Structures are given as structure tokens and as C-alpha cells.
Structure 1
Amino acid sequence: MSSRAPSQPPQLPGYEFEKLLGSGGFADVFLYRQFRPQRRVAIKVLLSSVLDDTVRRQFDAEANVMATMSTHPSIVTIHTADASSDHRPFIVMEYCPRPNYGVRFRKERITVAEALRVGVQIAGAVETAHRAGILHRDIKPANILVTEYNRPALTDFGISIVAGQSSDLEDSQGMSIPWSPPEFFADPPRADVRSDVFSLAATVYSLLAGHTPFERVGQRNTASDLIHRITSEPLRPLNRPDVPAELNRVLSIAMAKDPAGRYDTALAFGRSLQQVEMALSLPVTQMDVLDDRGAPAVPAADDDELDSHTRIRKVATVDPETGGAASGGPRRLDPYAGVAPALGSPAPEGYGSPASAAAGPEESTMLRPAGTALSTMSGASPAPAGPAAVAAPELADVRRTPAWPFVTLAAVLVILLGVGATLAVRHYFVDKPGPIETSEINVPEPPAEPPPPPVDPQIVVVVAGELGGETGRARVEWGLPEGIEEDQHFLVEWVDLPENYEDFQVPHEVHGRSSVTLEIPPGQTELCVQVRTVDPSGPSSDPQQACIDGG
């Protein structure tokens, strides 16, 4: 959410304004009711203050890109695009009434089954965009909306680019740092399809963790901190008992620091998530991919269990086990073993003695009749089978007494004698050691005392709003409490606001001062603000409130 006040909704013929849905850096999204055909739609309107031609071109390009791919079931549908009477461009989109995943992952525990389902379905949408030559570059939970039918839908292609331009990025304007791959912060920044794979995996990670992948609870999480961790620190495994090791491995591969170590395509990442679903005995989620490249079809693998769960036009899917059509050929080595070791993988070919590795299926076991010379077995022609050849081995088995029972009995006796002798020596000849002095380690420290609360906050200056379409401003002042430390700061925020006022509920951090100026939420008869002291280690003081009459 943006901290600025929302713009005035435009008057659009054939539409009736209902409420504000959200605000971004360059646009607001409003809910309108369309008269013909009658339905509720979300309309994204560019701010009138945006004069940058680049931003306006990106806005138009977003409409064109989403309209091209909006027939995909996991991409938000675009109905039309135009400009309002005050020359503000707008896009009319499908209205997704359910809370988006940017809201949900912070407030509720999302199940593994739902996170896998969302990951597979959005992977199909991202793969479709890539095959159309488009990189999204801003995949994150807030850009995954939820339709009325509880289906995730990818939106906000505002900073998407053509894949051919991915090596010539001018800046990272509009990108969301917590879900961005390391190459976005290189000099110069780079992007390709594997960058979107990283961001999609980071989104799935966030849904399961309840926080962004490189956010550290109880520690400082500034933009520079996150960039440092993204580029240099390893990804921590998800610490949830219901998250299997297979899923942690898939996310580690998809979020490898080096793009060469990741899945090559969003399709491959979605296939890996489907395999995790199969391992957990969950229903395998359908993945839809549209391919307009006209590539010749390759015969599909008959024994690929995931083919029936992936619909691709003009492209045959590959065997998830071998990487190619299932033809009974040799199994290739795991290409991601250097990034994340495979779980329960069999020993590689050639493991063991050279002779056993060279032996074929028929040569691994040879049945030799008794009395036959070794030179005969090594010849070109086997010995003829007959009654004598069958009876000889049976006679040999009767005459030969197996030795393994005697060897086993001898080994057990040796072990018993050794254990008995050891116990006797320790009991009669070795003094019992005294108690070992130990020191406590990893003892949790007692929780830190909360800092002192701010003193007597007041709203001392109020500038009336509604002049020139601007909101009013209020200056909040408070006294510094005794004993406040240099590294402690204050958080100031409006409280008890109704829905759709999220823009005004963003806490404001105040360092080294005891006052701040806030924009007044419009249309409220009574307003209250709260101030609290915050310590960098985590605890905060009780909030202190001050109220004004906004009527």
C-alpha cells in the first residue's frame, strides 16, 4: 500500500463508483459497477500527476500484455482500456473479491496443499507469459489475486518487459525487493525466465513461512539488509513439521543464487511442485500452458504420470523422471545435485567393483553344473542342458554342509566374551568417575523490559483539507520519556479507522524527533492517533493516544 492519499475516482460513462480497492506508486484501483453488462469490475487508473512518458507507456503496455494472455485461467482478465474525461488512462479488469495472498500470508497459516496448488497454477501462467516473450519481473503474493471461484490469478504486468530486452535493464524501479533474485541487484542488473522462477518460488516460500524468505524475525529488515541476504546468505529451510524435505529441496533449487543452478523454466518448477503433491498423496493440480510458438509436437510419453495434469497446446510434455520422452532409455544424472542433494536417490551407475559394473543382466548370475571346469564356462558355447546337468547341482547341495551357522555362532560367542570381560574390568578395576562439571549453554535470556512510553501526545496543529482536492494534515507532538535510549524510536499511526483506509494505517517511524505531520483520513468525524516507543530488539511500550474532533 502507498502512504499517499488516494486520487479522486474519475467519472466514467457506463460505470458507477463504489469504493477504493488499493493504491500503488503510480495508480489507484477502484471498484465500479458496470451498467451494461451488469457486473462489478476493478478499474486501475493512472494518477493525473504522473507526467513521465515512460510510466504512461508502461501502463499502456500492461493493458496490451494482460489482454493478450488474460484468457489464461490463472491471469486476471482484462475487459477494456481507455482514458477518462480528465485524460487519465485506465484499465477495466476482472474483479477478484477475495483477499489476495499479500494480505493472507501475513495473517493466517496457509496449508502446504494450498501453497502447492497456487504454485502450480501460477507456474502455468508464468510459463505462458514466457512463451509469449514476456518477463513479469514482479511476482509476489500481493500480485496473486483470488477470483470468486477461489482460483489464483496473476496480475500487475506493469514492469514486465520483452524477454529480448532482459540484458539491458536501466533500473529496478517498481521491483519488490523481498522477492527479487540476486541478479536484479548486479551491476548492471539482469533478468531472464529464471528470475521469474526465483520470484515465484520466493512467493510459495512466503505463503508457507508467513514472512518473506530473507526476513529475520526480531532483527533489522531494511532494504539494504534484505539485498545483502538475498545476494550472499543461503536460503533457510522452512521450519514447519508439515513441510516435507522434497519441497524444501525444490525451493532451494528454484532460489539458487546462480541462475544456472535453477530450474530452466517455470514449467519445470511447476512439474517439481506436482511431484511433491504426488509424494504427499495430494490431488495433482492441473497446470495450463498456452504455447503460440508453433513448435512441432514431440510424441508424448505414455508413462508420464503428470502428462494428464498439464495441458500444453502444440507442445508435448517431457518425462519428469528422465527429462525426455519415456522410451526406456538410460536415466540421466540429477542436474541439480550440486544445488540441493537428491533425497533417497539410488547409487550412481558404476558404484561397486568394476566387474559388477560391467556385468550385464544375464551375466550377473551364472549357474554352473558341478564338476564343470571354469574354462568351459568362459567359452563361446554353453554346456548342453540334460538330466545329468540338472541332477549334479542337487547332489552337490546334499553333500555340501553350509558353514554360515557355525561362523555366526562363533561371532556371537566372541562378542559375548568381549562384553563380559569389559564389564568385569570396569566393575573391579576402574574407579567410578565423579560428576562432570557443566555449564549451562543456550539458556534463553529473559525478555527485555519494554521502553518507557511517550509523554502526553497531542495533536497541536490541524490544517483543514478538501482545498484543491487535498487532504488535511495534523501535527502530532509528544514529550520524550525519561530513560529513553539513543537507538530507540517512535511509531505513530492512526487507529480505529474503517475498512478501505489502509493507506492511512501505515505506521510512521520517527527517529531523533518528538513530532511528525500526518495526512488526515477524510470523511471521519472523530480521529485518534497513537504513539509508542520501540526498541530495536523488539519490545515496545504501551501506546499513548490523542484524539481530535474531525467534524
Structure 2
Amino acid sequence: MSPKRAPSAPPELPGYDYVSLLGSGGFADVFLYQQLLPSRKVAVKVLLPDAVNRELIENFRHEANVMAQLSTHPSIVTIYGAAVAPDGRPFLAMEYCPRPNLGVRYRRDRFSVPEVLSLGVQIAGAVETAHRANILHRDIKPANILVTAYNRPALTDFGIATSAGGADDTSGMSIPWSPPEAFLEPPRSTPASDVFSLAATLFTLLAGRTPFELPGGSNTSVDLIDRIQRGDIAPLARHDVPQRLEAVLASAMDPQPSRRHQSAVAFGRALQQVEAEMALPVTPLDVLDDSLDAEVVDEEDGGATRIRGIVSIDPHAGEAPQFAPPGQQGAVSDATIRRTPVAAAPQGAAPVAQAEQAPPRSRRKTVFAIVGGALVALLGFGIVWLALSAGNRSQPQADPSQTVAPPPAAQRPSAPINVEGTVVDETVQFTWTNAQPQEGDSFQYRYERSDADPVTAQTATPEVTLERDSDGESCILVRLVRDDGRSSNDTRGCVNG
């Protein structure tokens, strides 16, 4: 909690019961609430009363929209909804992560090398997912990596995130983890800037201090900025950290952006290679597939909140297509970069999917004919035993140290049906039917009111209760989201009253 001010009073929110204060920041407080329907604990980020101005509200809305696009990623905090409290303060309702964030933990606990590698790979996947949606985080640091109830790291606080090529500024910058280009006039940010901050974060977890902090020396903001610009990293001083990992982190924190890993996926793959060299299980690097089906051309929200399938990146695959820095010749100007990443097998090895297939029928017949004839001539009845033995021989297995992409989804799941609404006083209850239910299914909905900002959120049940639209007609868009990240087309439902 910030020592500079007292926390604001928690707002009274319809459908939520206040529980406790979770923390305070420069422009907002975060409270723990108990949501009544569906029943769950949620973290609610609320703007301060004196911070409610047009610019900050716009930034708040931007954060909600960014997190709505990205929060289906397993290493990005899920946002459940956004609205305005009765006292006029905007708020975000988010996934509650009960464990201490990494900013708290590194000051009191010693992180093991395997844990740092694993969470580094997972967050690299989250950052790459943001970059493929043309979003730069710009404030990656230990305190902005929460830990879920299932002990999984989750990136949060996209409050100063920006689109590539958008206006850049130094608002909200965290100096100890910021790259040199953040201190230029004007400041600049690229995907390599987020790679720098992620590497600085991992270094902090290993060292118990920031990478440019000199133990026993002067560590003012001016000192830190000077060391960051020179690339003067303080020694890590841990004998259990392999030299290869130190080299990867140093490369990612090079003062020259062009000499760093040029994408988060490249940095994550480098961490995976360190895991493999240490004989550790290789952590999957999950990246949200940003490709769109050809028939999806006219969505009401422009596809801004589409949930795409997750793929895993092989640590030995070739370099992924790089995110072009703002202004670079050939850079894609579209707001969303549409790519379909494909996992590759190690050099010199056949793709696992092909290796696990049975030999072609013609080849199998030829082999069995030759071997069978020879065995009949030599061993007589022994051919029966040998044939059975050959038939039971196991197929080649994939190397368990490799991370392999799952087979692509065959088709888009069926959309929800019978989306209907019932007006009850000042609320409307929408219900729908999942025509082909599967374990892990959830639903994303978008609710637009004439007198308020649109709300995009997710629910595990085929129903939701919302405030009635004052213009007489309330409409909702609902899509089915599979556990593997695939999503259906939207189904629209409206009710008058």
C-alpha cells in the first residue's frame, strides 16, 4: 500500500459486497469484493475521487479494453467487467490473485533458478500475445506480476500500455526496470523495450534487488538512469545461476535495442533452451493465435475482443516473424497483426506428428511380405510369434523435453442458441443454451447500453444479470469459448422493456 496517502473509501457496488483493501497506487485503489452472482471473490480497481478527469477516465477505459482483449491468456489477469460506481468512479472487476505478487516475494524470499525460468517463459508468452495484438505493456516489473490461486504468474496493470506507433510518454514509468530508450526525449518504446523490462524483472527475482542497483552504493534515480543507459549491470553473485542464463539476461538488457532479443517469443525460447541445458522440464510458451477465419468480416466490436486458440512454441524452432518497430519500412499498419504461428521440430528431426503415424500401407505390405517369406522358409511356425511381436511394437515417442504444438483445431465451435432476456425491475436476465457443451466451456459477452460504456466480460454459466437499458431495448452479444481457446461466432439477443 502506498505510504503517501490514505486509501479512499470503497464504493458501494450493486451486486458486490466489500471485503477489504488490497492495495493502493498513484491513481487508484484496489479492493477485495465478494461478487454475489456468480458467487466469487474479485479484485476491484477503483479510480481515486480526485483522479476522475477526462484523461484518466479515457486511460482507464483503454486499460479495460486492452485487458479484455488479452485476459483469456493463462498468464494475463482476467477481467470480468468494467463500469461506473454510483459515486461516479470508474472501476474494473478482475480476477482475484490471493498469493503475494512477485514484488512482495523477491524482497523476502529467495527464488530458485527453475522457478524463475518457468515464470519467465510463461510471462514471455503473455508479452508476445500482447505484442501480436499490437500492444506494448511498458511497465513490466515484479509488482505487476500477480500469482493466481493455482500458483501461476499473471501479468496485470496495462494502465500505461500503448499501441505500437502510438504516442509515447513517461507517465507511470518504473525506473529500475525501464530500458534506456524510455529516458530519451521524446521517449520510445518497441517490443524490445518490454523484453528489457521482463529480463530486468527476472534478474531482480534472482538477485533480490534490481539489476542496476549497486549494493552499498548510491542508488538514486539519477544513478540508476545513468547505469541503465551505460548497461552497467551489477554482478548477480549467485553460484547456482548458470552462465548461459546470465548471458541471456545480459543480452536482453543490452542498452542498444537492436542487440536485444527482438521479440518476447525469442527471449522465451532462449529461456527454454536454458531449461533444456539444465535437464529441467521445458515450460510451454503459450502464444495467442491472432489469425481470423475468412468469414469473420463484420463483427459488431470489430473483433477487438476475439479469443483465439493458444499454441505452444518449440524452444528449438526457427525464429518467429518479428514485430516491426514503429515507423519501420514494411511495418503492418493494421491495428491487429494477423499471424498464424506454427511450432517447428528440432533441426534434422522429422515433425513429431509425422513420426507418430504408422508407415504407409504399401510400404508395410512390402516389408511384411519379404520378412514373412524369409521367416516361413527358416522358422516355420515361428512367424506367428514374430508377427504378433512386430504388431505390438510401440510407435516412436516424442522427446519429452520438447514443447510441441497441439494439432490445429478442426473447426470453430457452435455458437450459443436461444439467447433470451427477461426484465426484472431495473435489471435484465439473459440466458442462452450451449448446443454442444464440453468441460471447461465459458462464455464471453458484450453488453452495450445507450446511457453507459459497453461492458465486455466472461462468465462460466449460460446466464448473466445486467442493468436494464433505459432506452427500452437491451441487447447482448454472446460467444462460446472452449477450454483450448477456440471461440464461436457471436449470437445476438434482445429484450424490450
TM-score, normalised to structure 1, is: 0.54
Q: Which residue of 2 is the match for residue 85 of structure 1?
A: 86
In structure 2, what is the Cα distance between the partners aligned to 1:305 and 1:228? 35
What is the aligned length? 313
Indicate how the Cα distance of structure 1 residues 321 and 122 shifts in structure 2: closer, same or farther if over 3 A, else same.
Answer: farther
Task: Return the letter of the residue paired with 2:99.
Answer: R
Q: Which residue of 1 is the match for residue 11 of structure 2?
A: 10
Structure 1 position 293, deviation (Å): 4.3
Pair 1:240-2:266 in alignment: no
Structure 1 residues without counterparts, runs of 5 or longer: 297-302, 328-551
Q: Secondary structure at the match of 1:212?
A: coil
Q: Secondary structure at the match of 2:38?
A: coil
Q: State which structure, 1 or 2, has the greater radius of gyration over its C-alpha atoms.
A: 1
In structure 2, what is the Cα distance between the partners aligned to 1:235 and 1:320? 33
Task: Return the letter of the residue paired with 1:239.
Answer: A
Residues 400-435 of structure 1 deviation map (CA, whole Å, 9 limit, x = unaligned): xxxxxxxxxxxxxxxxxxxxxxxxxxxxxxxxxxxx
Q: 1:217 aligns with which of 215, 218, 222?
A: 215
Q: Which residue of 1 is the match for residue 177 of structure 2?
A: 179
Task: Return the letter of the residue paired with 1:273.
Answer: L
Contact 2:272 2:282 in 1 (8 A): yes
Matched-pair identity in %: 60
Q: Which residue of 2 is the match for residue 273 of structure 1?
A: 271
Matches within 5 A, 1:58-77: 58-77=59-78
In structure 2, what is the Cα distance between the partners aligned to 1:233 and 1:49? 39
In structure 2, what is the Cα distance between the partners aligned to 1:295 and 1:200? 32
In structure 1, what is the Cα distance between the partners aligned to 2:293 and 2:274? 29
Q: Which residue of 1 is the match for residue 121 of structure 2?
A: 120
Indicate how the Cα distance of structure 1 residues 326 and 306 shifts in structure 2: closer, same or farther if over 3 A, else same.
Answer: same
In structure 1, what is the Cα distance between the partners aligned to 2:264 and 2:232? 22
Q: Which residue of 2 is the match for residue 31 of structure 1?
A: 32
Q: Secondary structure at the match of 1:107?
A: coil
Task: Return the letter of the residue paired with 2:140.
Answer: I
TM-score, normalised to structure 2, is: 0.60
Task: Return the letter of the residue paired with 1:87.
Answer: G
In structure 1, what is the Cα distance between the partners aligned to 2:197 and 2:345? 25
Structure 1 position 320, deviation (Å): 7.5
Residues 319-374 of structure 1 deviation map (CA, whole Å, 9 limit, x = unaligned): 7879xx999xxxxxxxxxxxxxxxxxxxxxxxxxxxxxxxxxxxxxxxxxxxxxxx
Structure 1 position 233, deviation (Å): 4.0
Structure 1 position 14, deviation (Å): 1.0
Q: Secondary structure at the match of 2:50?
A: coil
Task: Return the letter of the residue paired with 1:240.
Answer: R
Indicate how the Cα distance of structure 1 residues 314 and 295 shifts in structure 2: closer, same or farther if over 3 A, else same.
Answer: farther
Task: Return the letter of the residue paired with 2:281.
Answer: P
Q: Which residue of 2 is the match for residue 260 of structure 1?
A: 258
In structure 2, what is the Cα distance between the partners aligned to 1:94 and 1:304? 29
Q: Which residue of 2 is the match for residue 163 of structure 1?
A: 164
Please identify, of 236-245 and 274-283, the stretch whose mean Cα deviation from structure 2 is larger. 236-245
Cα RMSD of the aligned pairs, angstroms, is 2.4
In structure 1, what is the Cα distance between the partners aligned to 2:293 and 2:85? 42
Q: Which residue of 1 is the match for residue 138 of structure 2?
A: 137
Residues 259-297 of structure 1 deviation map (CA, whole Å, 9 limit, x = unaligned): 00000100000000000000101110011101314599x
Indicate how the Cα distance of structure 1 residues 232 and 52 shifts in structure 2: closer, same or farther if over 3 A, else same.
Answer: farther
Indicate how the Cα distance of structure 1 residues 9 and 321 shifts in structure 2: closer, same or farther if over 3 A, else same.
Answer: farther
Residues 81-131 of structure 1 deviation map (CA, whole Å, 9 limit, x = unaligned): 000001100000000000000000111100000000110000000000000
Indicate how the Cα distance of structure 1 residues 51 and 95 shifts in structure 2: closer, same or farther if over 3 A, else same.
Answer: closer
Q: Which residue of 2 is the match for residue 204 of structure 1?
A: 202
Residues 226-268 of structure 1 deviation map (CA, whole Å, 9 limit, x = unaligned): 1111111422342111100000110011111000000010000
Contact 2:231 2:254 in 1 (8 A): no
In structure 1, what is the Cα distance between the partners aligned to 2:345 and 2:186? 37
Structure 1 position 316, deviation (Å): 1.4
Residues 170-212 of structure 1 deviation map (CA, whole Å, 9 limit, x = unaligned): x301010000000000122110100000000000000000001
Structure 2 residues without counterparts, runs of 5 or longer: 295-312, 321-337, 352-497
Q: Which residue of 1 is the match for residue 343 of structure 2?
A: 317
In structure 2, what is the Cα distance between the partners aligned to 1:261 and 1:319? 26
In structure 2, what is the Cα distance between the partners aligned to 1:288 and 1:256? 25
Q: Which residue of 2 is the match for residue 107 of structure 1?
A: 108
In structure 1, what is the Cα distance between the partners aligned to 2:220 and 2:234? 19
Q: Secondary structure at the match of 2:124?
A: helix
Structure 1 position 219, deviation (Å): 1.6
Structure 1 position 164, deviation (Å): 2.0
Matches within 5 A, 1:529-544: none
Residues 137-181 of structure 1 deviation map (CA, whole Å, 9 limit, x = unaligned): 00000000000000000000000001121xx42x30101000000
Contact 1:194 1:259 in 2 (8 A): yes
Q: Which structure is richer in relative contact order (CA contacts within 8 A, separation 6 or more)?
A: 2
Q: Secondary structure at the match of 2:215?
A: coil
Task: Return the letter of the residue paired with 2:232.
Answer: P
Q: Which residue of 2 is the match for residue 289 of structure 1?
A: 287
Task: Return the letter of the residue paired with 2:194.
Answer: D
Indicate how the Cα distance of structure 1 residues 236 and 219 shifts in structure 2: closer, same or farther if over 3 A, else same.
Answer: closer
In structure 2, what is the Cα distance between the partners aligned to 1:123 and 1:305? 13
Please identify, of 137-146 and 184-193, the stretch whose mean Cα deviation from structure 2 is larger. 184-193
